[in-house]
Chain A
Amino acid sequence: MAQVETVAEPRVELPVELFKGMVEPDWCPGCGDFGVLRALQGATAKLGIQPKDVLVVSGIGCSSNLPGFFNAYGFHSIHGRAIAVATGAALGNHGLHVVVTGGDGDGYGIGVGHFIHAMRRNLNLTYLVMDNQIYGLTTGQASPTTEIGHKTKSTPNGNIEMPLNPLALALVSGATFVARAFSGEAKHMTDVIAQAIQHKGFSLVDVFSPCVTYNKINSYAWFKERVYKLEEGEYEKTDFHGALQKAYEWGAQIPLGVVYQIDRPTYEDGDLALKQGPLAKLPLGLTAEQGAELIREFM
């Protein structure tokens, strides 16, 4: 598979404060989502993308509140539908940088269908999942990534369902950029998110974003003991089977960084309707003569 070539574009870095929203985050003190917000702000600032050219779409959950804390266009939609809303927005104006943010429940539970299809379409979306392995907003029920045996409000005797593996699911669904970050590694996460935004095609960043209130197991300390960065060793990110193996590395050693990245035409590249430029910018309506022509098709 082709090695990805990143052509360095000269960019003017913007101040991070430019991306600070009107509202202070109301997450619990210590919530991992603060780190994700800062990393996203750092990445857009570093890349020099103007707030008006960013659209952050989310679903519902603690993590899905992020767009309200970020200065850009946004859409805080309904639970599980962020990717679908973002798909329409990205196709409607492919000149925008569309970033989707949400939780593990939002994206891997109720919205998992859209997640899979967006990846096989290779839509040009950046998806940041604040994976806290719990339903935070609804006060601590099991999520699709909750580990076996974990006692939550909805699994008082311990979770008996096998957790979903987001990275492996992304790989087999055709994602062209699959990465993992950790809220305890701010600079690294900023780098990974910046790469994800720059990637042409669908990029997933699954972020370990601890819920300090409802998940007492997968805490900062728990992750700190286990994570290591792929970039610090020898790693070939274009090898699909190698990436799949990395996706299953869990336990004593858990990898962070870009697990997989390849180049594949995006959905936007293939849709003939998008060739004339962003749909939202095109003139509207047809002439009376065009209308008459449409009718003549049926005569």
Chain B
Amino acid sequence: MAQEVTVGVGGAAGDGIDKTGDTFARAYARLGLHMYAYNSYQSVIRGGHIWLRIRAAEEKVYSPGDQLNAMIALNQDTIDQHAAEVNEHGVIIYNGDKLHVDESVFKPGVRAVPIPIKDLMKTVADRYGVRLDTVMQNTVLLGALIWLLQLDLETLNKMYEEIFARKGQAVISQNVDLALAGYEYAKANHPAMDYRWTYSRKSRPVLTGNETIGIGALMAGCRFYSAYPMTPASSLLHFMASHAAEYGVCVKQAEDELAVVNMAIGAGHVGVRAMCGTSGGGYALMTEAIGMAGMAEVPVVILEVQRGGPSTGLPTKTEQGDLNQVFGASQGEYPRMIVAPADLVDTYNTTVEAFQMAEKYQLPVTIISDLLLSEHNETADPEAFDFNVTIDRGELAEPNENGNGEYKRYLVTESGISPRSLPGDAGNMFVGASDEHDERSILISDVYTDPLMRIKMMQKRMRKLEGLLRNLPAPTLHGPADADITFISWGSTQGVIWDAIALLAQEGIKTNNLQIKYLVPFHTDEVATILNSCKLKVLVEQNFTGQLGRHIRAETGISPDATILKYDGEPMEPLYIVNHVKEILNGTSRNGR
């Protein structure tokens, strides 16, 4: 069977957990292991407890999984909170000088691996005649972990050479020696765990959804990104800001989300591919302007990274609670696209597509992600990213030196698309309008109200959705067509569902997945046809009310037979789904709440 291990690293903010986890994940991703890492911040504990779980596997995994095989504890809280979760025959690695374990809570065969940090660090420090920062204990503990998991230590050393290349040979050697000290100490005192790894040696990047969205934006020619800091969208602001000068992107931190979205629309109006990003609270502020982009037919891409709501809610936790808000954004009816990517490669593709469709159909596109998808780290196959992007700007009007007011910005066409002119182009002047207007963009909103023109313009705008829908691939079933159960989902829950499908298959329960990516416009006929062919339809969502279920019911008249919902802020794990499926099959539950 393919080998896999899940390692938990816990400690306080400032303990260097992110760096340690990143070093580990990137090092062994280079050897060809697949990684899936999720960082949860347990803000209930003072000092900000951080709990990072890294799943490393020879074969592709799609979720944080259900296991915990090894733990590195950087503080007592971590041991107290998580020691009992470590699986049978697992290990708990910690600073033996300072922390203590209560073995009575351990599962059978779990071993405590205390490391004499002070002594080991002192030996290395004396060798170099320096004082070592206490966060460097992480390197010693990582060394011990490498021994216990039977991973290759040399790979870690190479990683340190790169990470500290600019800090000089001494720092590299100190880290290498610290890791070796931990490795050797563990080797001398603790038998290794039962792992024998086969490395494919295919090197893969480790990145987050916000980073793949950022890469997608750059590839698609985004030259304007505006944002106001808000978890969990901020890491995209950081990515864009750190790449702004090199790739010629104006990155604007604005005074609020009202400014953020209106700036992006202003940039879109003058012909710049523009994007902005936020979470649910910021999106709420943006909604009036999103309707304006629909009315004035300005291309713009808006990223909504959901976190736990309502209100300030669970700022550092994951949820899929904002679908209704995104549907309901802004007064009136206007054409827009709402799309929910499912995984890393999908976020990349979705972002590129969002820019293309925004310009082709001249409308706002909302990409809806969530904290899990946007912030967890995962490996992806580099060749899965299609970097041959052909920019399609959609229909543009030819500048016309002799233009004399005959240009019609909102020309009524069969497709509903009116060729755009860009400020600065000769002859084709127009005034983009948020009021209802005629083809020349002359207002017909009050003084010159013209009901027939109003109908024409409304139909012209909404007609664009028909062409857009034809451009978007309809959803299909993942997994066996004759499954007994179909999971219906959107966004990041696809991953855990796929892992659950594999687990259920091992138990002889055949399941498949209908993942909905395009929420507006919606493939009503195709979705209805698929759902009508499914046996037991189980809606899986990370929210309280089943918002996708409501949308599907509204669009197709079809309701799910059962629901598996979760809204505690933590990502779903495969067994959560597996156990609920069993209850549903036993008839003990029709609602996974």
Contact = CB atoms under 8 A, between A and B. Distances in A.
Interface in B423-467: 423-427, 429-435, 440, 442-443, 447
Contacts of B426: 52
Contacts of B429: 51-52, 71-74
Interface stretch (A149-157, A193-201, A271-279): A271-279
Nearest to A76: B433
B289 A81 contact: yes
Contacts of A298: 26, 205-207, 211
A81 B265 CA distance: 11
Interface string A44-85: 000000011101110010000101100111111110110011
A95 interface: yes
Nearest to A280: B271
B267 A88 contact: yes
A99 to B, nearest CB: 12
Given A60-B434, A88-B224, A93 B424 contact: yes
Most chain A CB atoms below 10 A, which of B249, B252, B432: B432
Contacts of B288: 78
Contacts of A286: 218-219, 221, 247, 387, 389
A288 B387 CA distance: 5
B356 to A, nearest CB: 10
B218 A299 contact: no
Interface stretch (B182-190, B256-264, B548-556): B256-264
B74 to A, nearest CB: 25
B423 A68 contact: no
A221 interface: no
B423 A93 contact: yes
Interface stretch (A160-168, A232-240, A289-297): A289-297
A201 B101 CA distance: 64
A85 B266 contact: yes
B262 A73 contact: no
Contact of A91 (B206, B220, B250, B431): B250
B267 A89 contact: yes
A93 B271 contact: yes
Contacts of B443: 23, 65, 68, 76
Given A92-B272, A280-B424, A284-B221, A75 B266 contact: yes
A22 interface: yes
A80 to B, nearest CB: 8
Interface string B379-398: 00010010111010100000
Interface residues of A, number: 62
A293 B93 CA distance: 37
Interface residues of B, number: 73
B30 A299 contact: yes
B516 interface: no
Nearest to B261: A84
B480 interface: no
A86 interface: yes
A43 interface: no
B264 A88 contact: yes
Nearest to A110: B258
Contacts of B211: 298
B258 A89 contact: no
A60 B433 CA distance: 10
A280 B274 CA distance: 10
Contacts of B391: 284-285
A89 B431 contact: no
A285 B220 contact: yes
B479 to A, nearest CB: 29
A72 B432 CA distance: 11
B248 interface: yes
Nearest to A89: B266
A30 interface: no
Contacts of B243: 294
B273 interface: yes
Nearest to A298: B205
A96 B269 CA distance: 12
A231 interface: no
A2 interface: no
20 contacts: A23-B443, A72-B429, A77-B262, A77-B292, A81-B262, A81-B289, A84-B258, A84-B266, A87-B263, A88-B226, A88-B252, A88-B268, A91-B250, A92-B223, A92-B267, A93-B270, A93-B272, A113-B255, A284-B393, A290-B219
The 9 lowest CB-CB distance pairs between A and B, nearest first, are A88-B266, A291-B387, A284-B221, A74-B431, A84-B262, A88-B263, A298-B205, A92-B267, A73-B423
